[in-house]
A = this chain, B = another copy of it.
């Protein structure tokens, strides 16, 4: 009975979805003027009235239904109500979040499944060819090479944006920059399939960062899909918020770590975090983690929902206070290791880029590089060969599992008997002891991971780094266990050292150091299902971060720099300078602008002179009063409207009419065959921004003079969209505040004004320079949280800290020298009156030219998105400005 009811419900729902679409469309149209909408709607309804029963009729049928007796009728009424409720829910965020969570969990599980099959078949081949080492080697090597080459080729062909980690791109998008092609369905497919085959090859690559990208792609596509139902999904700032939730989902569905995933995504991706978004992230991450683990239960992999890699550390006495120095040392070593990893990765990329012969060769044969790298790595990990010394038989997850084992592998240097757990056996070698195996593993995997990261396939570095960190921790732990076989506790009770705890600490510390996050600690807790060793983990993670952050940018920032994405460096803390540098020290004083009373010729010249995306609109060049900013496209539209085909034709027709009074010309008839001018002159013009560059496309030598006259006319800004309140700073806004405003609002540039007068402009580039100037380390800028660590503890270490002569002093000198001649700061009355006379009362005819047809511009002063719609490679202010 219930089943039948359900069926009826669903059928009815599907059948009657159509009229409800009307409702949703109305919902979605609030951004338009209601008047316009009402007319359209009326027209549409008139049309529909012919084809379909009206809504009124439908409601009548509903009433009839209610009068009808019988179970089925009641069911149907109930159904209609249910359906109403369900559809009213679709617009809600939580439906979106649940769908996203479920979908990503399923996808993550499927990708895992695919990877598992790939890895198993490699192992199967390897085992079945036992006896013939050469064939074994061939199988071991060919398999990953084929998979990686396929992955590289597939992504290259389908969507090159899918290559690499994905977190740098998402970070840039969340920063407010629109990266075209980064959130398309093609990229989604390329990333998922590319990632599966890349990870299936067994290379030391990670799944986490690509999944952040995949989740963002999923959210973006789901948004587009859901916007078919409800209008709210069209809002741009909301989409941005959902994107940041998607990042949390991405991390969460890889590690089944909802809290850690959310925190990691906040730390790695955002500069400012909206707390009201926290709730959504938490919710979606929980749904996805739950679903991901439930799938494992349903697949009979697990009995119930547990952590992904449950450990079994001692709870009553998790660690001794005297072990803390060892954890601290592990943290510091991890910090150096993390910085080294980031540096190594960048150096490899730069080496390939700078070596012209290598570059040329690789540009031709794009698939050769990944194939060669894979060949090298898989040769070195061939189990009967060198691989036997580094447990190369194990997959990443298996290695991690064994490393987190709570049994000691070695006591007093003599390897213990391993238990029946077959995986742990891989670490045991008849000739060499566990320490050598672990050291080799750490060293080899370290450079292999850094190298593998440079392959043009979808891949992340988190997981390999995590495993390396665990091995490093295990090494320290085993050493401690050898050193103190009975534990370090002083009074009677023996609490032996647990090397597994060290492995967990090392994993958190190294991955934290590489990504410059502290939330890896939480990821470790959720991954292992144990939180009792919280303090050692946190101490190690903090120390690792302190060291790594003072030496190198994070891996993601490094990748952003390598990919040359638009970028705003972080401000360090504890730096006094940034409170003392002001905008006037860094701004560009020679700003390009147009004035309210300019003629079309000026517009033409300005548009030719530079490629700025927005131009300042001033009242006049004498008063310099900033009225707003106009997009380049708008100006191009104005110009093409003035010089474009319709006006040209009109002029010709007028002239012809005038001439025809004197003599009948044949010119007119030939021209009248061209299409009649459109009734909406603005919109087609907007779609042809290139019309400016060849305004004389119709050969019309007689109209040369007309054109000149047209260019000398004053510009009419009436129909032009003007951003009336672009972000303004004053000269004394500090660098610290400027940075905050830029990163809060995702700005590209800001005007500097002094009581309405435009005196300069600051773009991302200047800001970047100023920040990097104040804390400069060779090659890359750094983000020094415990900067004194760099000055004292870590000087003369791995990194080559050639401090540039600090630009700061230059800035200081410049500022001092400039403070007097500036007229607006004149302090004695004589100077002031002089200055006053120079701004002699200008006229300010204010036109009511403000029409907001676009809902995007209607957002008010912060129309940054409008400034950045072009492709990111051109996003920065043009060099012509600087």
Residue from the list B237, B518, B542, B843 in contact with A737, Cβ < 8 A: B237
Cα of A862 to Cα of B727 in the assembled complex, Å: 11
Q: Do A860 and B732 touch across chains, with their CB atoms under 8 A apart?
A: yes
Name the residue of chain B whose CB is nearest to the CB of A516: B279
Complex: how many Å from CA A305 to CA B531? 12
Q: Which residue of B lies closest to A491 (CB)?
A: B303
Minimum distance in angstroms from A4 CB to a CB of chain B: 25
- Chain B residue numbers with a CB within 8 Å of A31 are 579-580
Q: Which residues of B contact A847 (CB under 8 A)?
A: 755, 832, 836
A317 within 8 A of B: yes
| B residues near A111, Cβ cutoff 8 Å | none
Given known A-B contacts A273-B273, A304-B321, A756-B724, A529 and B315 have beta carbons under 8 A apart: yes
Chain A binding surface, main DSSP class = mixed
Which residues of A (720-769) have their CB < 8 Å from a CB of B? 722, 724-725, 728-730, 732-734, 736-738, 740-741, 744, 753-757
Contact between chains at A848 and B862 (CB < 8 Å)? no
B279 & A275 in contact (Cβ 8 Å cutoff): no
Among A551-594, those with CB < 8 Å from B are 570-571, 573-574, 576, 579-580, 582-583
The one of B92, B315, B845, B846 in contact with A574, judged by C-beta atoms closer than 8 angstroms, is: B92
Measured CB to CB, the closest approach of chain B to A243, in angstroms, equals: 15
- Which residues of chain B come closer than 8 Å to A627, judged between CB atoms? 755-756
A861 in the interface (beta carbon within 8 A): yes
Given contacts A259-B522, A276-B573, A718-B832, contact A30 B724 (CB under 8 A): no
Chain A residues 834-882 with CB under 8 Å of chain B are 835-836, 839-852, 858-862
Q: How many copies does the complex hold?
A: 2
Within 8 Å of chain B (Cβ to Cβ): is A283?
yes
Expressed in whole angstroms, the Cα–Cα distance for A34 and B266 within the complex equals: 40
A289 contacts the other chain (CB 8 A)? yes
From A579, A791, A823, residue with most partner B Cβ within 10 Å: A579
Interface-facing stretch out of A12-20, A125-133, A290-298: A290-298
Whether A480 is near chain B, meaning CB under 8 Å from some CB there, is no
Say whether A279 contacts B623, CB under 8 Å.
Answer: no
Q: A231-B576, A232-B574, A307-B534 are in contact. List 15 more A-B contacts (CB 8 A).
A: A31-B580, A89-B788, A238-B579, A259-B521, A272-B275, A276-B573, A304-B318, A315-B529, A531-B531, A623-B844, A725-B730, A732-B858, A741-B862, A827-B851, A836-B847
Q: A: which residues have CB within 8 A of B?
A: 27, 30-31, 33-35, 85, 88-89, 91-94, 230-232, 235, 237-238, 258-259, 263, 266-267, 270-276, 278-280, 282-283, 286, 289-290, 293-294, 297, 303-307, 310, 312, 315-321, 518, 521-522, 525-526, 529-532, 534-535, 538-539, 542, 545-546, 570-571, 573-574, 576, 579-580, 582-583, 619, 623, 625, 627-628, 718, 722, 724-725, 728-730, 732-734, 736-738, 740-741, 744, 753-757, 785-788, 791-792, 816, 819, 823-827, 829, 832, 835-836, 839-852, 858-862
